[in-house]
Amino acid sequence: MRSPTAIPGPTTSATAPSTSPTGTVAPSATATSAEAGLPVLTPQPTVSPALALGSPTSADPGDSDPLTEAVQARTEEVRAVRTKTGVLGAVVDGGPFEWTMITPCFGTSLVAGPEIIEGPIDVLIDPGHGGDETGAVASSGLRESHVNLVVAQALEQRLVARGYRVLLTRDADHRVAIQSRAALALALQPAVFVSVHHNGGFPELHGEVGTEVFVQQGSEQSQRLGGLIFDELTAAFADIDVDWVANRTRGVSWRSNVEGTDLYGVLRRTRGVPSVLTEAMFLTNPPEAALLADPAVLAAEADALARAIDRYFSSADNGSGFIEGLIFRGDLGPGGGTDGCKDPALR
CB 61 → Zn ion: shortest distance, Å?
Answer: 19
Q: CA torsion angle for 32, 37, 42, 44 (degrees, to 10)? A: 180
CB 133 → Zn ion: shortest distance, Å?
Answer: 9
CB 215 → Zn ion: shortest distance, Å?
Answer: 16
Amino acid at 227: G
Q: How far apart are CA 37 and CA 289, in angstroms?
A: 38
Nearest to Zn ion of 99, 264 (CB atom): 264
CB 129 → Zn ion: shortest distance, Å?
Answer: 6
Q: How far apart are CA 277 and CA 255, in angstroms?
A: 11
Helices and strands per DSSP (H, E), number in the chain:
7, 15
CB 272 → Zn ion: shortest distance, Å?
Answer: 23
Closest residue to Zn ion, judged by C-beta, is: 197
CB 197 → Zn ion: shortest distance, Å?
Answer: 3
Nearest to Zn ion of 100, 145 (CB atom): 145
- Concatenating the DSSP letter of every residue in 227-290 gives HHHHHHHHHHHTT--S--EE-TT-EEE-EE-TTSSBSSHHHHTTTTS-EEEEEEEETTSHHHHH
CB 279 → Zn ion: shortest distance, Å?
Answer: 7
Nearest to Zn ion of 55, 318 (CB atom): 55
Q: Which residues bind Zn ion (CB under 5 A)?
A: 55, 128, 135, 197
Nearest to Zn ion of 101, 229 (CB atom): 229
CB 55 → Zn ion: shortest distance, Å?
Answer: 5
Q: Which residues have C-beta within 8 Å of that of residue 227, sequence separation ≥ 6?
A: 7, 213, 252, 317, 318, 319, 320, 321, 322
Do the beta carbons of residue 308 and residue 231 sit within 8 Å? yes
Q: How far apart are CA 296 and CA 27, in angstroms?
A: 33
Do the beta carbons of residue 80 and residue 187 sit within 8 Å? yes
Nearest to Zn ion of 23, 135 (CB atom): 135
Neighbouring-strand partners of residue 211: none
Nearest to Zn ion of 48, 108 (CB atom): 48
Do the beta carbons of residue 149 and residue 86 sit within 8 Å? no
Could you give the C-alpha distances from 263 to 22, 56, 160, 227, 304, in angstroms and in order?
31, 9, 31, 19, 26
Nearest to Zn ion of 175, 197 (CB atom): 197
CB 57 → Zn ion: shortest distance, Å?
Answer: 6
Q: Which residues have C-beta within 8 Å of that of residue 275, sequence separation ≥ 6?
A: 185, 192, 193, 194, 195, 215, 216, 219, 222, 266, 267
Q: How far apart are CA 207 and CA 139, in angstroms?
A: 22
Nearest to Zn ion of 81, 276 (CB atom): 276
Do the beta carbons of residue 233 and residue 309 sit within 8 Å? no
Nearest to Zn ion of 146, 224 (CB atom): 146
Do the beta carbons of residue 302 and residue 23 sit within 8 Å? no
